Structure 1
Amino acid sequence: MKLVVVSAGLSVPSSTRLLGDRLTAAAAELDASVQVQVVELRELAVEIAHNFTNGFPDRALGAAITAVTEADGLIVVTPVFSASYSGLFKSFFDVIDADALTGKPVLIAATGGTARHSLVLDHALRPLFAYLRAVVVPTGVYAASEDWGGAQGLARRIERAAGELVVLMTGITATRYMRETAVDDTPVEVGGFAVVPFEQQLAALRTAD
């Protein structure tokens, strides 16, 4: 499964990228088949601006858009600016086709200086990806400055959110695999799960009756 991390951090090193890395590590620990690609928006800022004026992505931006749209799942992380996501973060998703993320599992995350900004997850990020018709995992992850001191709460949220993302990615990947490869009603094993065609499950219920 292909997992793409979109990080809107501006500094090097970046707490935003660090949070993305920890979420990625938690997901990869749960499923060894996860292949990770990181998109650093800081490196694409000029190309994103050009895209707004000429309507065409340059090579690096085009590659990033392709990676995001073809991913089996996304982890998106932004710093909080003015109680919302950053302009760079929003601009990147503005240049992606509005239908490209339909049905795609997305884990939303953010970083900020104070815990008071944690509502950005539900007031800004979740509505944005709901509008894009993505499937947002129930647990969002916000990390304030004090959370980097080894707070157990952050570790638990990371593990829970990563688990929810992997479950969604596995289910969607399994469904696509069945559509592409199934030639009969034989169950197949995908990502450690036995996937049984719906018709076979329905037939079993009728036989039980």
Structure 2
Amino acid sequence: MTTSPTRRTIAVVHAGLGQPSSTRLLADRLAEATERELEALGHPAAVEMIELRDHAHAVVDAMLTGFPTGDLARAIETVTRADGLIAVSPLFTTTYSGLFKSFVDILDKDALTGMPVLLGATGGTPRHSLALEYSMRPLFTYLRADVVTTSVFAATDDWAQAGGPAHDGGTSLPERIERAGRSLAALVASRDERGTPDDPFAATPSFLDLLGGD
């Protein structure tokens, strides 16, 4: 008897403010790369895109009341029930945007525990690329998410050179996106359907069972 491949859901949260925005573009590219890699690993994938600009007022209300409602509540449920998360923010004053942080702040503190997460950021200059490591990664590590090693920063010049070699002699933006997508897909594919690691002790009898107690 053959088992059907397990469908995986990837939630994509981005805090781009413009329409269109380079932040949304990077989020799309990362989602596409992850979806392709999951398909190659035998897992059909569904991508759920969440544009935080559409929920900005509701995010502020939730911070004041402590209770997200309506479309925002549904967006949060999409994130917390996903098998993996792609989180992308523009950088302002060398760190993630206030809207991005506010959304993270209204999540339950345990909501992302064990969640495979891929981080991305956009900015005007490559000088800000380290913000991913000193700002965004610690934020999700604090929330006990399983953040993939590869993160992707896209500067303005990266989009102009997207089809060719990187300006600094390193890997190009498309190459970095593909590598990041592979990393997230591999991590998501290794998880059970709830997005958490398989428990190696799940079948172990309890102490009470061993003693024959009630």
TM-score, normalised relative to structure 2 = 0.81
Distance 1:173 1:52, change over 3 A: same
Cα deviation digits, residues 162-204 of structure 1 (max 9, x gap):
0000010010136979979xxxxxxxxxxxxxxxx999xxxxx
2:187 to 164, 168, 179: 168
User: Could you say if the C-alpha distance between residues 84 and 68 of structure 1 is closer, same or farther in structure 2, counting changes exceeding 3 Å?
Assistant: same
Q: 1:115-154 alignment to 2 at 5 Å?
A: 115-149=126-160, 150=162, 151-152=164-165, 153-154=172-173
Residues 114 and 195 in structure 2, CA contact (< 8 A), matched pair in contact too: no
* Structure 2 partner of 1:42: 53
Q: Is the 8 A contact 2:116 2:146 kept in 1?
A: yes
Q: Deviations over 1:35-77 (max 9, x none)?
A: 0000000000000000111121120110010000000000000
1:50/1:168 CA distance change after superposition, 3 Å: same
1:4 aligned to which of 8, 11, 15: 11
Tell me the residue number matched to 2:5. none
For structure 1, which runs of at least 5 residues remain unmatched after alignment?
Answer: 181-196, 200-209
CA–CA separation in structure 2 for the residues paired with 1:177 and 1:132: 14
> In the aligned structure 2, how far is the partner of 1:109 from the partner of 1:116?
15
Count of equivalent residues: 183
- For 1:11-160, list aligned pairs within 5 A: 11-32=18-39, 33-149=44-160, 150=162, 151-152=164-165, 153-160=172-179
Structure with more of its chain in helix, by fraction: 1
Q: Which amino acid aligns with 1:13?
A: P
Query: d(CA) in 1 for partners of 2:193 and 2:60?
Result: 37
Q: Which has the higher contact order (CA 8 A, sep 6+)?
A: 2
Secondary structure of residue in 2 paired with 1:173: coil
Classify the secondary structure of the residue corresponding to 2:154.
strand
Q: Residue 187 of structure 1 corresponds to which residue in structure 2? A: none
Does 67-76 or 152-161 show the bigger shift? 152-161
Percent of aligned pairs with the same amino acid: 49
150-159 vs 73-82, which moves further: 150-159
Q: Secondary structure at the match of 1:96?
A: coil
Q: What is the RMSD of the two structures over their aligned residues, measured on CA atoms?
A: 2.2
What is the distance in 1 between the residues matched to 2:80 and 2:88? Answer: 17
Structure 2 CA distance, aligned partners of 1:161 and 1:84? 21
Residue type of the partner of 2:47?
Answer: V
